[in-house]
Amino acid sequence: MVDTLPGVSLFGIHKTLYLLQNDLDFRERLRTQPEAAMAEMPLTVHERQALLTGDVAELYRMGTHTFLMSRLPRFNALGGLTREEYQKRLSTVLEDPRP
């Protein structure tokens, strides 16, 4: 189990990732205007930055659900993160399991 970082609620991250999977209009806005799409989401600056940069290792450290995160490469959102790059970035958590 991963503890969440102080000031991180996860609700905004999970809602963003849920909408990515289930809301076609939101998904397209994330692909074409990610900053504008996320401006309406209840995210902290830290959460928003991790999503915008595709920092899946940091999202994992925050406690983000891996099933929801795995949708990032599937839907080509937030910078076109590929499956290979997603796996490479997430593997850094195993190499450096710092909190």
CATH number at residue 42: 1.10.700.10
Cα distance between residue 76 and residue 35, in whole Å: 15
pLDDT at 12 over 50: yes
**Residue 18 CB contacts under 8 Å (≥ 6 apart), including other chains:** 68
Start-to-end CA span in the chain (Å): 11
Pinpoint the alpha helices (H) of 1-99: 11-22, 24-32, 34-39, 45-52, 56-62, 66-69, 71-74, 83-95
Q: How many domains does the chain have?
A: 1
> Residue 25: inside a domain, yes or no?
yes
> Residue 6: inside a domain, yes or no?
no
Domain ranges, residue 58: 11-95
* pTM to 2 decimal places: 0.82
pLDDT of 16-45, one tens digit each? 999 999 999 999 999 899 999 999 899 999
pLDDT of 43-96, one tens digit each? 999 999 999 998 999 999 999 998 999 888 888 777 778 889 889 988 888 777
> Residue 48: inside a domain, yes or no?
yes
